[in-house]
Structure 1
Amino acid sequence: MKVFFELGWFFKERKKQYLVGISLLIMVAMLQLVPPKIIGVVVDEIGGGSLTVGSLVKWLSLLAASAILMYVIRYYWRIMIFGSSMTLAKRLRAKLFHHFTSMAPSFYQKRRIGDLMAHATNDVSAVQQTAGNGVLTLVDSITTGGFVILAMAITIDWKLTLIALIPMPFMALSTNYYGKLLHARFHHAQAAFSDLNDKTQESITGIKVMKTFGQDKEDIADFKRLSDEVVAKNTRVAKVDSLFDPTISLVVGISFFLTIIFGAKFVVAGDMTLGDLVSFTSYLGLLVWPMLAFGLLFNIMERGSASYDRIQNLLAEKMDVEDKEDALSIRPQGDIEFNINSFTFPGDETPALKDVQFTLKRGETLGVVGKTGAGKTAILKLLMREFDGYDGEIRYGDHVIGDYQAIKLREAIGYVPQEHFLFSASLYQNIAFTNPDVGEDEVTNAARIAQIHDDILRFTEGYNTVVGERGVSLSGGQKQRISIARALLMKPELLILDDSLSAVDAKTEEAILESLKEARTDATTIITSHRLSALVHAHLIIVLHEGAVVEKGTHDELMALKGRYFEMYQLQQLEQQVEEGVSQHE
């Protein structure tokens, strides 16, 4: 019953619908008592020879009226109760989706997409069943069962009623034990489904890589293993689930057996009429559903409880970054002062940044250089306030970044990541994603700055060309340039290019940087790149090594130092000369 108390907040919200639905269920339970009683009366009239055509029509009319009334009432209670359960499912999905979109990227490093999808589908469905079929079976088993037992005891014979109920404690003990087993096993079954869901999503997303490396058979075998595991764990659930009906049927069978033996004895002794015994057995037949509903209730409750626990545990995860109560609702602008003494990613032991300080004037360009793992991404994540736990201070304009609302800070930053995500929509819609209300001229202008406009015009449908999911039909360089155009439409105060020119050739890279310089005269830009030619014209370049700044200055100043930057630049120039020589030779 715990899950019903946990859902109390929803039942209070929908109390009118549930009260009406439950009232209608009670009416149905009372109306169900009419047919068995009428049957008993008719049997007695037949036995006594007093049945007439008029009385038969009267009783049949009463039966028909009760049947029609039950038909109408059942229609409306379904709307009230099942309609409310669908509203709960809608609310939970909305909560989960809002939670997913509010969480920082670190949340998705710990959680698998397939698992999150399982929470929003299977788990929500199980909770919906609890608020719908669960309420139905709870009310119906209690009211129908209670009214039937009272009718048997009061209108027929209380002694025979007690005899018929002797096997009931066995059923209660058995179903309680089955329910505990079901709760534990369903938890494991839902977890297995999450694993399979995640595997399916991952396989479909990475289908091109899989086929390229010829790993189809291995992936299918892995999918089959997980699928078998889902079947095995759900079979364990089904084995417990399948015990309810036989147990209840056995209990009902024993009750009928006792009723026939002792009822026949009471009829022979004259304590009951034959019609009473017929009515009693009919009432006992009505008890079959409440008993089955009682067993089904355990099943629904345990499934719903396990799923609601999973949903609540997920929703209980707090955001890594939360706004202050008086956070500023303005987009930041101005100089950026980055002063971090130390920052360590959650779960890591080694600091990702240590003693990193720089000042970037508004309208200037910062270049960030370093090997993989040197700390470039950490700087960007802190600037975008994906993490708050660090020793130091980051100021944007007149305030530290924690003073701004997170959404306003991110609205001021146009971020082009290393891994580009394009939607299965038209090129126009992908570019206009950050600002859907802009005009066509602004979209094409952003595409020109990103040097993708001419490429788009070469497509058959131009800007209306629909790209595959995640942009599978485009080259890496085209996806990078569409992502840059998309970021530009935000009109960001700060544009961050996180190694997002790596897939374009040197000539296109130079054209993009020149266009950005002309279009963003008063806006700030940060570029991280392994290709140093992208940073030559930056106002400031910092060289990172193991999370610390080892060199800082302009391109000319760093070349004069003849340190790490100098060595990297010379090496890249040599590689470029070799590549050009090979190309000319070919």
Structure 2
Amino acid sequence: MRLFAQLGWYFRREWRRYLGSVVLLIVIAILQLIPPKLVGVIVDGVTEHRASNHMIMLWLGAMVLTAVLVYLLRYVWRVLLFGASYQLAVELRARFYRLLSGQLPGFYLRHRTGDLMARATNDVDRVVFAAGEGVLTLVDSLVMGCSVLVVMSVQISWQLTLLSLVPMPIMALIVKHNGDELHRRFKSAQAAFSSLNNQTQESLTGIRMIKAFGLEDYQSDRFVQVAADAGAKNMRVARIDARFDPTIYLTVGFSNLLAIGGGSWMVMRDLLTLGQLTSFIMYLGLMIWPMLALAWMFNIVERGSAAYSRIRQTLDEAPEIADGVSALPPGRGTLQVDIGSFTYPHTLQPTLTHIQLMLSPGKMLGICGPTGAGKSTLLSLIQRHFDVTRGEIRFHGIPLPSVKLDEWRGRLAVVSQTPFLFSDTVAHNIALGRPDATRRQIEQAAELACVHDDILRLPQGYETQVGERGVMLSGGQKQRLSIARALLLEAEILLLDDALSAVDGRTEHTILRNLRQWGEDRTLIIIAHRLSALHAADDILVLAHGTVTQRGQHRGLLQQPGWYRDMFRYQQLEEALTADPDAPEAADA
């Protein structure tokens, strides 16, 4: 029952719908009391020869009219009640999606995609079912049960009513015990369903690698194990679920046995008429639904409560990065980075130390260094995925923690080292951040990214479906589409995180030349492993072990002994060997 308290905020907001549903349920419950009463009157009228054919037809007509009214009213309250519960589903999923879209990388280190999908779909469905069907069964069972009890007690016999209700307290205790056990088992089953979702999602995402390594049988065995575990936990839920109906039916059977036995004794002593006993048995039959409904309500509400606790666990997770309150002034601004140190959460050693730089509008910063040097971490801090541990980053002289996140990120366009494309057309993928862009603007961005000609060679050009994650495109095409997507935003600061690694040297040179022309008054930050991409940078940082080991422009760094010169020479030699297939033989000679 705690679920109803947890959803109190929604019930209070949608009180009109729920109140209307409750009123109609009460009216329906009252109308359902009429047929048993009329049957009793007809039985007594026939046995005592007091009812004419005309009167019997009138009573039968009243019963038919009552059935029609009940049907119509049930239709109306279902629209009201279930309409409200479906609206709850929309709201919960919208809140869940907003939370997911606002979370930072640390959140996704703790939560797996399949689990989040299970919470947004299966768990929400359980909560919505409880908010609709649960409210229905609770109100309907209470109203119907109380109405029937009052009529049986007041109009027929309160003694027989008490006798018939003797098994009820025992049933209530058993149902409560089963409900608590169901809550625990269902929560475990939902966790198993999340694991099954995770396994499915990872297998489908990595299907190319699975096939490449011949791991189909191995992955199938893993999936079977996870599915078997989920099936076993759902079977445990089914076992506890199966206890409800037998409990109810045994209770109803004992109640009927006591009612018939006690009622027959009262009829023989003229304490009841045969018609009253018939009405009483019919009323007792009406009690079957309230008792079944209560058991069913406990079942679905406990499932919904377990599901809602999983949803709330995610929704209540506070963002790691607090939103700022300051607005940025219009126009281009200078980016100042002064990082004393930065340490990732739950780690001890700092990832970055002693990094200072200043970027004016129109300048290009190059960042390079060995793997694990902290290059992508620096870009993450600029994007404010994390806050600097010691030091600060400023834009327009304002510390980033004081700036509204949406406003700051609206000044950025980012191309990551792992480009992601949606299962949509080429044009829609490029226009992702600017859906109102014209076709000409989309084509101009593609031309700057040197991918326009590639697109025209596709079967339907810009209307070609790229498939899941851009499966039909090469790595270089994906990167260039992602660059076109970023350029279309016309953002003030463009961040390229090793975004040219899959393109050839000539295409890289053309893209960089286009970027310099495009970004005359824009700030450009490039992380590159291929150092030829940084020759035009106004400033180059060489990072190693999270700190700056060399700094300067391309020509100057080539004059200094160190990592930059050694790596540049190595890459030149590698290119020469790749371009001249006879070079190894010549070298051996």
* TM-score (structure 1 length as normaliser): 0.97
Higher mean C-alpha deviation, range 281-290 or range 441-450: 441-450
Aligned amino acid, residue 576 of structure 2: Q
Q: Retained in 2: the 8 A contact 1:114–1:198?
A: yes
**Secondary structure of the equivalent of 2:51?**
coil
Counterpart of 1:230? Answer: 230
Aligned amino acid, residue 337 of structure 2: F
User: When the two structures are aligned, how many residues end up with a matched partner?
Assistant: 585
| Cα distance in 2, alignment partners of residues 30 and 305 from structure 1 | 31
Q: Retained in 2: the 8 A contact 1:540–1:552?
A: yes
Q: Retained in 2: the 8 A contact 1:367–1:528?
A: yes
| Cα distance in 2, alignment partners of residues 160 and 332 from structure 1 | 85
| Cα distance in 2, alignment partners of residues 324 and 408 from structure 1 | 10
**Secondary structure of the equivalent of 2:581?**
helix
Q: Retained in 2: the 8 A contact 1:332–1:397?
A: no
Counterpart of 2:153? Answer: 153
Counterpart of 2:470? Answer: 471
Counterpart of 1:8? Answer: 8
| Cα distance in 1, alignment partners of residues 513 and 582 from structure 2 | 26
Aligned amino acid, residue 493 of structure 1: E
| Cα distance in 1, alignment partners of residues 241 and 46 from structure 2 | 44
Percent of pairs identical after alignment? 46
| Cα distance in 2, alignment partners of residues 158 and 330 from structure 1 | 79
* Residues 1:310 and 2:275 are matched in the alignment: no
Q: Retained in 1: the 8 A contact 2:334–2:361?
A: yes
Cα displacement (A) at 1:403 = 3.0
Higher mean C-alpha deviation, range 562-571 or range 327-336: 327-336
**Secondary structure of the equivalent of 1:549?**
strand
1:48 to 1:192, Cα distance in 2 relative to 1, 3 A: same
Aligned amino acid, residue 263 of structure 1: G
Counterpart of 1:246? Answer: 246
**Deviation readout 1:49-76 (Å, 9 max, x if unpaired):** 2232112112101111111111111111
**Secondary structure of the equivalent of 1:433?**
coil
1:99 to 1:55, Cα distance in 2 relative to 1, 3 A: same
1:278 to 1:2, Cα distance in 2 relative to 1, 3 A: same
Higher mean C-alpha deviation, range 574-583 or range 63-72: 574-583
Aligned amino acid, residue 379 of structure 1: L
Q: Retained in 2: the 8 A contact 1:332–1:396?
A: no
| Cα distance in 2, alignment partners of residues 282 and 14 from structure 1 | 36
**Secondary structure of the equivalent of 1:355?**
strand
Counterpart of 2:70? Answer: 70
Q: What does 1:531-542 correspond to in 2, within 5 Å?
A: 531-542=530-541
* Residues 1:408 and 2:413 are matched in the alignment: no
Counterpart of 2:30? Answer: 30
Q: Retained in 1: the 8 A contact 2:577–2:583?
A: no
**Secondary structure of the equivalent of 1:118?**
helix
Counterpart of 2:369? Answer: 370
Q: What does 1:43-192 correspond to in 2, within 5 Å?
A: 43-192=43-192
Aligned amino acid, residue 267 of structure 1: V
Q: What does 1:421-570 correspond to in 2, within 5 Å?
A: 421-570=420-569
**Secondary structure of the equivalent of 1:363?**
coil
Cα displacement (A) at 1:316 = 0.8
Cα displacement (A) at 1:299 = 0.6
Cα displacement (A) at 1:436 = 2.0
**Secondary structure of the equivalent of 2:243?**
helix
| Cα distance in 2, alignment partners of residues 378 and 220 from structure 1 | 37
Counterpart of 1:275? Answer: 275
Cα displacement (A) at 1:329 = 4.9
**Secondary structure of the equivalent of 2:423?**
coil
| Cα distance in 1, alignment partners of residues 461 and 61 from structure 2 | 73
* Residues 1:202 and 2:205 are matched in the alignment: no
Q: Retained in 2: the 8 A contact 1:447–1:485?
A: yes
Higher mean C-alpha deviation, range 544-553 or range 424-433: 424-433
Higher mean C-alpha deviation, range 141-150 or range 212-221: 212-221
| Cα distance in 2, alignment partners of residues 525 and 384 from structure 1 | 14
Aligned amino acid, residue 250 of structure 2: L
Cα displacement (A) at 1:441 = 2.2
Q: Retained in 2: the 8 A contact 1:338–1:356?
A: yes
**Secondary structure of the equivalent of 1:503?**
coil
Cα displacement (A) at 1:546 = 0.9
Q: Retained in 1: the 8 A contact 2:114–2:199?
A: yes
Cα displacement (A) at 1:40 = 1.4
Counterpart of 1:333? Answer: 332
| Cα distance in 2, alignment partners of residues 18 and 515 from structure 1 | 61
| Cα distance in 2, alignment partners of residues 331 and 375 from structure 1 | 31
| Cα distance in 1, alignment partners of residues 267 and 29 from structure 2 | 28
| Cα distance in 2, alignment partners of residues 565 and 585 from structure 1 | 25
**Deviation readout 1:262-311 (Å, 9 max, x if unpaired):** 11111111111111111111111100000001101111111111111111
**Secondary structure of the equivalent of 1:558?**
helix
**Secondary structure of the equivalent of 2:526?**
strand
**Secondary structure of the equivalent of 1:86?**
helix
Give the unaligned 5+ runs of structure 2.
Answer: none
**Secondary structure of the equivalent of 1:359?**
strand
Cα displacement (A) at 1:402 = 2.5
Cα displacement (A) at 1:523 = 1.3
**Secondary structure of the equivalent of 1:348?**
coil
| Cα distance in 1, alignment partners of residues 328 and 579 from structure 2 | 52
**Secondary structure of the equivalent of 2:324?**
coil
Higher mean C-alpha deviation, range 93-102 or range 238-247: 93-102
* TM-score (structure 2 length as normaliser): 0.97
**Secondary structure of the equivalent of 2:348?**
coil
Counterpart of 1:390? Answer: 389
| Cα distance in 2, alignment partners of residues 147 and 470 from structure 1 | 60
Aligned amino acid, residue 11 of structure 1: F
Q: Retained in 1: the 8 A contact 2:324–2:405?
A: no
Aligned amino acid, residue 354 of structure 1: T
Give the unaligned 5+ runs of structure 1.
Answer: none
**Secondary structure of the equivalent of 1:527?**
strand
| Cα distance in 1, alignment partners of residues 345 and 574 from structure 2 | 38
| Cα distance in 1, alignment partners of residues 496 and 583 from structure 2 | 32
**Secondary structure of the equivalent of 1:434?**
coil
Higher mean C-alpha deviation, range 336-345 or range 389-398: 389-398
Cα displacement (A) at 1:585 = 8.2
Q: Retained in 2: the 8 A contact 1:411–1:490?
A: no
Higher mean C-alpha deviation, range 572-581 or range 11-20: 572-581
* Residues 1:288 and 2:293 are matched in the alignment: no
Q: Retained in 1: the 8 A contact 2:430–2:481?
A: yes
Counterpart of 1:350? Answer: 349
| Cα distance in 1, alignment partners of residues 97 and 548 from structure 2 | 40
Aligned amino acid, residue 128 of structure 2: Q
| Cα distance in 1, alignment partners of residues 214 and 425 from structure 2 | 31
Cα displacement (A) at 1:231 = 1.2
Q: Retained in 2: the 8 A contact 1:337–1:395?
A: yes
**Deviation readout 1:392-422 (Å, 9 max, x if unpaired):** 0112233222232211211111111001111
| Cα distance in 1, alignment partners of residues 118 and 452 from structure 2 | 40
Cα displacement (A) at 1:124 = 0.9
Counterpart of 1:300? Answer: 300
| Cα distance in 2, alignment partners of residues 360 and 174 from structure 1 | 71
